[in-house]
Structure 1
Amino acid sequence: MNARWLDAELEGADTSPERRGKFKKKKLLGRRKLEDLVAEDPDQIADDTIRRLIDRGHITGIVAELKSGKEATAYVARGPRGSVLVKLYRELEARSFKNDAIYREGQWIGDVRAERAMQGRSRRGLEMLQGMWVSAEYAHLWTLWQAGLSVPEPLVGPSPFDYEATTPAVLMRLIGSEDQPAPRLSDVRLTPEEARSAWHQSVRGMADLLRLGYAHGDYSTYNLLWWENTVIIIDFPQLTTRQNPHFTQLLRRDAQSLVTSFRKHGIQSDAETTLREVQRLARERGPEPRVMLP
């Protein structure tokens, strides 16, 4: 498989007329308007998902929109344990990034009819894919958090029974504060010393993922936060394992994305050198696992 084909698969979208017209009668849930997510009386909130999160006690209300991406919009919320980041996914057909098949290759579904529905992208299949996308982010977050990696703390779970009930939202502890959420590394200006520290932390973070058998799938300064001189890795629904036949290519692509995005901070490296360093660090001992309180 060549790199051009891989990049096309990773960035591609289904634009066939048949697919575009299939669900044209159904209003797709894309980027929600902030006014639909807030109200003085929670029962008057227009968005079903936010009302459900409030009813279940996960949050007390949405404060502000933080950032809108290709597949989801992040909101700052308040909750019983402090500030919360609510990542609210759009429906699959309403996303600008739709081709997730390459990340799912190698996954075992265990249900032939479900697999057929997802491959055919029927309405039921799309609902299943949506649920898998959200559940995958929760599951990965819990694995990485418990392993001691520098990632946001998931706030629902670790039982899938709990976090599947929040679909299409993923809830995690907000990095930073309500008034000053942590910025992405792509959006900050660093001193040369800070840039070197951020680079080494980012390379080690990629190695920590590899040690656990993961490739991020979209590893760059756009998915790394910078807070109190610490790099925090985010965005995990497309995380892939060694069972994926494209694992090596995705890992190499992560190294290239990291190298390219760090050039703005004055860091000069190349993908192959970075990948070798990641592989070397992955053979070393990782961070101390976090102790889960009962």
Structure 2
Amino acid sequence: MKTPASLLTLIDEGVIDEVMRPLKSGKEAAVYVVRAGDDVRCAKVYKDMAQRSFQKRVQYQEGRKSRGSREARAVATGSRYGRRQQEAEWKNAEVEALYQLREAGVRVPEPYGFFHGVLVMELVTDADGFSAPRLGEVELEPARARRFHQALVRDVVRMLCCGLIHGDLSAYNVLVDPEGPVLIDFPQVVSATGNNAARTMLLRDVNNLTATLGRWAPDLLDTWYGEEMWALFEAGQLAPDTPLTGHFTPDEHAVDLDGVRDAINDARELALIRQQGREAADED
């Protein structure tokens, strides 16, 4: 196993003592099992910006605040410094989210620190001490699937009350330890109030979880928790312990903004065509 230079730096500085084995590798980062004293933890090494898709992250980063006016201007202009700043914010977003969500009672791995671009955190394990499986890798009885769904919906509510949306939640971003589901992978975390796609991402997150657990408990497929919690959030009535029913009646009188925009654009195009026709007739 080739140990990344960033992990060797952590060994030199005494943050960790040993890199034991690789755990997983994805498009955004590689995760390693490490030892720190008597504790076994994991270290998430974010991949270099050149190895990752920059454009795909733009939608997620909408609404995130830069740390200063210089950084904000650089990000807006797309300069090299601005891209580096945006990359740093992308990495810091997960670290900050983990600390905030742990404080709010969301089941996420405990973070131990962020060093030289490496996030050191709790290794989530099963009952035998091995790396915990993902939600999509376990078989569930209907009653247990419903309990998992209830726990995950409550964690999504707690996140939303913190002003955050996971943005990429699925069976691949949920681990299962002896106490239940644990949410992981937060670099794309979304601002619930500053991102125009926040509602869409929230509904996608909840629907992904419902579709996965609905395989074991089909009655979950008839629930509408995402729509219900977003309506309460918009109305300022959502709290971490707000009871949810899973029922939701859409407002049939709500304004169809997309339809209005389409109608306006169609009218503009029609007016342009007519104007071009009149000009052509005048020339004849």
- What TM-score range do you get, normalising by the shorter chain? 0.7 to 0.9
**1:206 maps to what in 2?**
156
Give the partner amino acid of 1:255: V
**2:94 maps to what in 1?**
137
CA pair 63-134 structure 1, distance change in 2 beyond 3 A: same
Cα distance, 1:183 vs. partner?
A: 1.1
Give the partner amino acid of 1:36: K
The CA distance in 2 between the partners of 1:286 and 1:81, in whole Å, is: 37
**2:203 maps to what in 1?**
252
The reply to whether residue 275 of structure 1 matches residue 220 of structure 2 is no
Cα distance, 1:272 vs. partner?
A: 6.9
Cα distance, 1:57 vs. partner?
A: 2.1
The answer (yes or no) to whether the contact 1:206–1:278 under 8 Å persists in 2 is no
Report the secondary structure of 1:84's partner residue.
Answer: strand
**Of 33, 50, 56, which residue of structure 1 is paired with 2:13?**
56
Runs of 5+ unmatched residues, structure 1: 1-34, 38-46, 157-162, 288-294
**1:36 maps to what in 2?**
2
Cα distance, 1:71 vs. partner?
A: 0.7
The answer (yes or no) to whether the contact 1:92–1:98 under 8 Å persists in 2 is no
The answer (yes or no) to whether the contact 2:135–2:174 under 8 Å persists in 1 is yes
Report the secondary structure of 2:15's partner residue.
Answer: coil
Give me the identity figure in percent.
31
Moved more, 184-193 or 274-283: 274-283
CA pair 96-109 structure 1, distance change in 2 beyond 3 A: closer
Give the partner amino acid of 2:88: G
**1:171 maps to what in 2?**
120
TM-score after normalising by structure 2: 0.73
Alpha-carbon RMSD: 2.7
Moved more, 111-120 or 138-147: 111-120
CA pair 115-278 structure 1, distance change in 2 beyond 3 A: same
CA displacement 1:199-243 (0-9 Å, x = unmatched): 111111111111222111012221111111411111111112212
Cα distance, 1:69 vs. partner?
A: 1.9
CA pair 263-167 structure 1, distance change in 2 beyond 3 A: farther
CA pair 176-125 structure 1, distance change in 2 beyond 3 A: same
CA displacement 1:81-107 (0-9 Å, x = unmatched): 611111111112312575111111122
Report the secondary structure of 2:120's partner residue.
Answer: strand
CA pair 268-223 structure 1, distance change in 2 beyond 3 A: farther
CA pair 137-193 structure 1, distance change in 2 beyond 3 A: same
TM-score after normalising by structure 1: 0.71
CA displacement 1:153-192 (0-9 Å, x = unmatched): 1101xxxxxx3xx242111111116951111101111222
The answer (yes or no) to whether the contact 1:141–1:154 under 8 Å persists in 2 is yes
The CA distance in 1 between the partners of 2:222 and 2:19, in whole Å, is: 40
**2:136 maps to what in 1?**
186
The CA distance in 2 between the partners of 1:122 and 1:253, in whole Å, is: 33
Cα distance, 1:273 vs. partner?
A: 0.8
Report the secondary structure of 1:255's partner residue.
Answer: helix
CA pair 110-101 structure 1, distance change in 2 beyond 3 A: same
**2:189 maps to what in 1?**
239
Larger Rg, first or second structure (1 or 2)? 2
- Aligned residue pairs, count: 236
Report the secondary structure of 1:265's partner residue.
Answer: coil
The answer (yes or no) to whether the contact 2:166–2:188 under 8 Å persists in 1 is yes
The CA distance in 2 between the partners of 1:262 and 1:146, in whole Å, is: 27
The CA distance in 2 between the partners of 1:187 and 1:209, in whole Å, is: 24
The CA distance in 1 between the partners of 2:78 and 2:214, in whole Å, is: 39
